[in-house]
A and B are shown apart, each in its own frame.
Chain A
Amino acid sequence: MTVVSCIEPIDVETEDFLDALVVDATITDEMDNHTIYLTRTYRFESESTAEQGAQITLSDDSGAAIGFDEVIPGTYRSSVPFAAQEGRAYTLKIVATNGISYSSRPAQLPQNVALDSVYAQRITNDFGEDGVAIFVDAFDPTGNSQNFRYEFEETYKIIAPKWRPEDLLSTGIECGVDVVPKTKEDQTCFASKASNRIILANTSNLEENRVDRFMVRFIDGENYIISHRYSVLVTQYTQSNEAYSFFDALNQFSSSESLFSETQPGFLSGNIFSETNQDEKVLGYFDVSAVSKKRIFFNYEDLYPGEDLPPYVNPCNTIAPMLISQGGARCVLSAMVDENQVSYYDENQDPPFEEGPYKVVPRECGDCTVLGKTERPEFWIE
């Protein structure tokens, strides 16, 4: 007996679509031009669309108001930099393109809890996999704020494993290809990726308000992103109870289910409502939270001294395609070069039948710009 039960992906189409406004607004105590994203809901089979031309005003209970400008479609930035203040109640007001007004319930800034430390350790996780865990510790002696949400942005160095200073250039004549020196740096790059999970920690049932060894990220030991030097910026948002409940429920609805039981889903209402029709469904949340950020770096050697690097994103096998296909119907190598699919690796001395004059590797093996950017980020420290 082998497979008994199964969970398999299926294709679905939206059968009964509801178009609604989506508000993604987080205002923090950091002095900044804060950003609010307005979009519309969309069908599974299509893409998110921006809510353009809306009017957004943020006001507090002292009567102060700040306006927002649409910088790119659907993205609105505060016209002045500001930081949310403790003790103030903030209300977000939106007039959508179609003229309908929305406003949020008032939200207050919770007391800030500083992130004590962020650290990386090599562990074996619950599923028995070796890898690097990014942990956070935080402590709030006052115990006033107990809800934390984390985001991270990871940046890592990529070195193309089969880099050569030369490149191939298609001559455009009879499928010809030339070896030319590279004119731009493409051996070492940096790539960044932001977290796309809801990561929550809660200390309400702990004796003291301490987040201890909370894992925000686990990177498999076989993942090439830790091959050289890796950095992660962890942002901790201290949230109000209401905001935390919203994120928690959203997370529950969207995370993997047990095979046998399923949380009853339903409409999750946030804190933004239509001023004209209380029953209109508005998605998203207006959150005012306190932030604390920390960045760390580590090298592969620090955690895996003397061990082989994890496999690169591509096994980088070399091939030597012929210049012209058998029978002469079309170009082979020059077509690959034009499509930016390969990087030059070496000459192919005395090519046997069915091989061409140059050895090449998949593009990313000799050119890291496929995966990242060559310019070093400002924060980067070697």
Chain B
Amino acid sequence: MKRFFVVAMLVVGMKYAMSQEQIPSISVSFANTPVKEALGEIEDKTGYKFFYLEEWLEKIRVTGNYQNTPVNVVLDNIFKDTVLNYFIMDSQQIFLMQNNQIYDSLPDDFFGAENQLSDDDFPNYDQLQDIGPLFLESDDSGTRGLQVVKIGKENRNSGRRTFTLSGRALNSRNGQPIPDLAIIVEGKDIGTSTNANGNYSLELPIGENVITTRGLGIQESRTKIILYNDGSYNFQLNESVEALDEVVVQGNRDRNVETAITGVTLIEVEKIKNIPLVLGERDILKAAITLPGITTAGEGASGYNVRGGRTDQNLILLDNGVIYNPSHFFGIFSAINPFTTGSAEIYKGNVPAEFGGRLSSVFDIESKDANTEKFSGEASIGPVTSNVVLETPIIKDKSALMVGGRATYSDWILGALDDEQLSNSTASFFDVLAKYNHTINENNEIKATGYYSRDEFSITSDSIFNYSNRLVSLGWDHKFSEKTTGSLILSNSEYQFGIEFDGESNDDFDLGYKNNETEFKYKMKYLPGGKHKFDFGLSSKLYVVNPGNIDPLGLDSDVTALTIPKERGLESAVFISDSYEVNDKLLIDLGLRYSFYAALGAGDQRIYQENAPKNSGTLVETQTFDENEFIETYGGPEVRFSARYFLAPDFSIKASLNNAYQYIHTLSNNTTVSPTDTWKLSDLNIEPQEAYQASLGLYKNFEGNKYELSLEGYYKKQKNLLDYKVGAQLLLNEAIETEVLQGDGKAYGVEFLIKKNEGKLNGWLGYTYSRSFVKLDSEFSEERVNNGEFFPSNFDKPHDISLVANYKFTRRFSASANFVYQTGRPVTFPIGSFSFNNSEFVFYSDRNKFRIPDYYRLDLSFNMEGNHKIKKFAHSFWSFSIYNVLGRNNPYSVFFVTEDGDIKAYQSSIFAIPVPTITYNFKF
């Protein structure tokens, strides 16, 4: 109907095209006057009559002082910043029009130059489209009934045929931005997705565009946008009720096929709440390990192994600040509060050029923006922890604060463990997060995050261990123009651990370790329009590591205070990447990063004989470096290249190649991550680690995007991985280089994933075949492991099957299941026993020649939503889950000890029986 009106107006406009001649002048002044009143005043003073729809004028106010000014000039001013045009007819009537411009003459060359008409000169249709007014096509089959939005004011003098539409996608319930929403223009091969702040920008042809948005947990929307000029439009979208039952983790739907980058996964916390829980904790990082390519060494092992990489090769970012130990309680819980977390983007293949410093992956975790509309909160009560998050607006619709905290009740869980040592232990942990977000105006937004997590545990009554992470990050997003945006990021994070020992003897001590890093980063995004998208920037990071200090504890202690001198390093990088759409089918994403590292003084460095093993016997001299002197520099170019080619509209092939350097390494002589692992910076004797990865994948969506299929393969080579001599002492060791080895790694694998995104039954099935090897070779036998040949790494688990399925009975009731099967991890088994010193001992030879039995586990959960009455104060959610339903006693490790002179072999497992859990969550 509206359309009809527009076309009719156009005809009328043409007919009276010649009548705009005698325009009276008036004197009038407005001061924040509603437009309707202003127009009334003009009507009174001129005898013109205005025609318009009142809704167009709502909220528009005008200010201005006009002395004897022609009415059309007054109106030009009044409507300058609106989407309204006007047309004066017969000196009596003025029609207001939303968006449309009425032309009273055809463009000069609308019909070409008549006198020189020839076949060559005759404009083709495309050229015609490039000039002149916009005629709306009236074929609207299938778009009837859609919300129609008109954007921008048509500009008479514009020759442009494409305009930029930008804006934000917001959740209509709480006003929060919706990241990773796919925005697709129907039938035009144009699309984008919203960024973490919900912002998007699209280059659209003038005129009618039907835009579909799709996002996880968000109702699909279709909007007809009639575009007249550059403009902005914010999508106000509803959460889909189905989202409550919908699965989880998802590489953004269309991105699966569409983006160029390989090996990227998005996990949204809101969507993982149906995965069966262990001990009542919804956990974003635990959800990650149900996806191909991300594993842990075992249940209860801290740290993640991504595509055959070590646990120290993951850059775990929370709001751009680094978290060094993202786990609580030996890895059973993650230190990331699920309620404050928005999403986690995990890059395991090609890492964007803006990230660097770790070889295997980036876990880019963003906490959600606080609710700027109203006070809200979420809480859960579980068997081990309780969790509360509160959000409150500070300035309505502009800024808000979120504070979340989580803590254990008690250490009863340890008492429940069937281990004599542990049942005498105590453990407690907590984490808190505060986030402030402030939208200053549409061009400026600032965010600040503070985070602290702490664990404390004691295995024997004479020692107490503790560790903590602390981070602060500040971000300022600035929009310079529709095409250029910039982000400034400052962050500081610190990880520390301590051991207090208070025993019988005179050796009571207090031991501490700490590392701190401060990063400055500036990145810009430039969208010149057309086929390129640029991202570029620079970053610089200062590391300060206090490798350890020990102090006497108490007056009776004879322990000598000792402090290993601190290490400092500066890691800087410049980066640029261009996402270039070569043609409709080929998209290339080329990123380059140059990273530069300098180990900084002051400090002492030991120089060893060349071509000799590093030990106290081959020490040549100790060199001393001054404050800020470069001890050694490393660096090099890093390539991040990926490309996508559409074989069919829903079928693509992608390839990527990338490399990276890493200048900070963990020191650990354990087979799995331990809380007393320290980090060491590269220096004169320890070179940076390097990795090279190539990957190739096929991506196919079926039946719309109901099913997603992907198959990805990779091959990875690593250099200078840090490993350790047998029996190395790493803590409080000044000459750490005499205890470490550096070697090569290689890993390869194939990852298969099929997902069903919709329907009563949804979920995914992943299968990974992967291998990971290490080689520690040297001409000296003391620096050689397994004869200098490649051997399986501690986390080499070739077969990995993971199934997550949800079934929705009704809107309120759903059930889910999670099944995991993995090859047992490699272990070093003794190859015999011997008698020595009146006892028996076992002895070991080659590392990792054996495997513990295969791992499998089934978890089930049943979820019940409170009802969905809008007016209800709080939404509640009950979850009842059973972890390890089959009661499989999955061995975590097998070890041999000498007890009372005899050898005993033991097998340990973490959750050997079904563990039921009930949790209650509510949201208001």
Residues on A facing B (Cβ under 8 Å): 1-12, 14-20, 22, 24, 37, 39, 41-44, 48, 123, 126-128, 133, 135, 151, 194-198, 203, 205-208, 210-215, 245, 247-250, 252-269, 278-279, 281, 283-285
How distant is the Cα of A250 from the Cα of B833 in the complex, in angstroms? 13
Find the A residue at minimum CB distance from B902: A196
| B910 close to chain A: CB less than 8 A | yes
Contact present for A213 and B833 (CB under 8 Å): no
Q: Is the CB of B550 within 8 A of A205?
A: yes
Q: How far is A9 from B507 in the complex, measured between Cα atoms in Å? A: 34
A213 touches B505 (CB 8 A): yes
Question: How many residues from B make CB contacts under 8 Å with A?
Answer: 91
Within the complex, which residue of B552, B833, B889, B909 is in contact with A41, where a contact is CB–CB below 8 Å? Answer: B833
Q: Which residues of B contact A198 (CB under 8 A)?
A: 837, 839
Q: Is B842 an interface residue (CB 8 A)?
A: yes
A207 touches B909 (CB 8 A): no
> Considering the complex, which residues of chain B in the window 305-346 have a beta carbon less than 8 Å from any beta carbon of chain A?
330-331
Task: Return the chain B residue nearest A215 by Cβ.
Answer: B504
Contact yes or no, A16 B550, CB < 8 A: no
CB pair A22 B781 closer than 8 Å: no
Query: B187 contacts the other chain (Cβ, under 8 Å)?
Result: no
Instruction: Please state if A210 and B558 are interface contacts (CB–CB under 8 Å).
Output: yes
B461 touches A126 (CB 8 A): yes
CA A269 – CA B726 in complex, angstroms?
Answer: 9
**Contact A206 B330, beta carbon cutoff 8 Å:** no
Q: Are A207 and B560 in contact (CB under 8 A)?
A: yes
> From A127, which residue of chain B is reached at the shortest CB distance?
B424
Nearest CB on B from A147, distance (A): 13
Residue of A nearest to B903 (CB): A44
Chain B residues with CB under 8 A of A9: 904-907
Nearest B residue to A10 via CB reads B907
Q: Which of B775-797 contact A (CB under 8 A)?
A: 781-782, 785, 787, 794
Q: How far is the CB of B364 from chain A (nearest CB, A)?
A: 28
Q: List 9 tightest A-B contacts by C-beta distance, closest first.
A: A249-B727, A196-B901, A212-B506, A266-B726, A261-B674, A254-B898, A260-B330, A41-B832, A206-B558
Are B505 and A284 in touch, CB under 8 angstroms? no
Contact flags B389-418 to A (C-beta < 8 A → 1, else 0):
000000000000000000000000100111
Q: Would you call B843 an interface residue if the criterion is a C-beta within 8 Å of the partner chain's C-beta atoms?
A: yes
B705 at interface (Cβ–Cβ under 8 A)?
Answer: no
Is B625 part of the binding interface, using a Cβ–Cβ cutoff of 8 Å?
A: no
Distance in Å from the Cβ of B786 to the closest Cβ of chain A?
9
- Bound Cα distance A253, B834 (Å): 13
The answer on a CB contact under 8 Å between B838 and A264 is no
Asked whether B915 is an interface residue with its Cβ less than 8 Å from the other chain, the reply is yes
Known contacts: A207-B559, A215-B505. The answer to whether A261 contacts B831 by CB under 8 A is: no
Whether A5 lies near B560 (C-beta < 8 A) is no
With known contacts A123-B504, A206-B506, A43–B835 Cβ distance under 8 A: no
Q: Which stretch (B75-83, B97-105, B664-672, B815-823) binds chain A?
A: B664-672
Q: Is the CB of B834 within 8 A of A245?
A: no
Determine whether the beta carbon of A279 is less than 8 Å from that of B781: yes
In B903-921, which residues have CB < 8 Å from any A CB?
903-913, 915-916
Name the residue of chain A whose CB is nearest to the CB of B907. A10
Tell me the bound Cα distance from A37 to B838 in angstroms: 10
Query: Which residues of chain B are near A15, meaning CB under 8 Å?
Result: 829, 831, 850
Complex Cα gap A212–B503 (Å): 11
Residues on the A chain within 8 Å of B845, using CB: 18, 266-267, 281
- Pick the contact of A268: B300, B673, B726 (CB < 8 A): B726
Bound-complex Cα distance A208 to B558 (A): 7
Given A41-B843, A267-B844: A261 and B670 within 8 A (CB)?
A: yes
Complex alpha-carbon distance, A205 and B552, angstroms: 10
The residue in chain B whose Cβ has the minimal distance to the Cβ of A278 is: B781
B838 touches A5 (CB 8 A): no
Any A CB within 8 A of the CB of B562: yes
Say how far A208's CB is from chain B's closest CB, in angstroms.
6
- Which of A215, A247, A260, A284 lies in contact with B834, CB distance below 8 A? A284
Bitwise interface map of B from 643 to 664 toward A, beta carbon under 8 Å scored 1, else 0 = 0000000000000000000000
The distance in angstroms between the C-alpha atoms of A331 and B730, with both chains bound, is: 67
- List 10 extra interface pairs beyond A9-B906, A22-B835, A258-B421, CB under 8 A: A10-B894, A16-B849, A194-B838, A197-B901, A205-B509, A212-B506, A213-B504, A249-B726, A256-B897, A264-B847
**Does A7 contact B834, Cβ atoms closer than 8 Å?**
no
Cβ of B301 within 8 Å of any chain A Cβ, yes or no, is: yes
CA distance A127 to B552 in the complex (A): 24
Chain A positions within 8 Å of B670 at CB level? 261-264
Residues of A within 8 A of B28 (CB): none
Q: Which of B459, B674, B828, B836 contacts A24 (CB 8 A)?
A: B836
Q: Which residues of B sit under 8 angstroms from A249, Cβ to Cβ?
A: 726-727
Given contacts A205-B559, A264-B670, A210 and B834 within 8 Å (CB-CB): no
Q: Are A4 and B907 within 8 A (Cβ)?
A: no
Q: Is the CB of B461 within 8 A of A127?
A: yes
- In the complex, the answer to whether A4 meets B913 with C-beta atoms within 8 Å is yes
Distance in angstroms from B206 CB to nearest chain A CB is: 63
- Please indicate the chain A residues that have their CB under 8 angstroms from the CB of B901 in the complex: 196-197
Q: Collect the chain B residues with CB atoms within 8 Å of residue A195's CB.
A: 838
A48 to B836, CA, bound (A): 10
* Complex interface residues of chain B between 444 and 462 (CB less than 8 A to chain A): 459-462
- Report the nearest A residue to B463, measured CB to CB: A126
Q: Among residues 558 to 606 in chain B, which have CB atoms less than 8 Å away from a CB atom of chain A? A: 558-560, 562
Complex Cα distance A211/B670, Å?
29
Q: Which residues of A contact B892 (CB under 8 A)?
A: 259
B94 close to chain A: CB less than 8 A: no
Complex CA–CA separation, A238 to B454 (angstroms)? 41
* B785 and A4 contacting across the interface, CB-CB below 8 Å: no
In Å, the complex CA distance between A19 and B832 comes to: 8
Closest to B913 in A: A3
A213 to B508, CA, bound (A): 12
Contacts A/B (CB < 8 Å), 5 sampled: A7-B907, A196-B837, A196-B838, A214-B505, A215-B504
Chain B residues, CB < 8 A from A126? 460-462, 503
Residue of B nearest to A195 (CB): B838
Q: Is the CB of B836 within 8 A of A22?
A: yes
> B782 — nearest CB in chain A belongs to which residue?
A269
Q: Which residues of A contact B841 (CB under 8 A)?
A: 250, 253-254
- Given A208-B558, A215-B505, A257-B895: A262 in contact with B836 (beta carbons within 8 A): no
Report whether A245 and B727 are in contact in the complex, using a CB–CB cutoff of 8 Å.
yes
Q: A5 touches which one: B302, B727, B839, B911 (CB < 8 A)?
A: B911
A5 near B550 (CB under 8 angstroms)? no
A16 and B413 contact, Cβ closer than 8 Å, known pairs A5-B910, A205-B562, A264-B671:
no
Q: Does B121 contact A (CB under 8 A)?
A: no
- Indicate with 1 or 0, residue by residue over B874-914, a CB within 8 angstroms of chain A CB atoms: 00000000000000010011111111110111111111110
Q: Are A254 and B897 neighbours in the complex by a CB distance under 8 Å?
A: yes
Name which of B732, B889, B909 has the most chain A CB atoms within 10 A of its CB: B909
Tell me if B844 and A253 are in contact (CB < 8 A). yes
Bound-state CA distance A278–B330 (Å) is 41
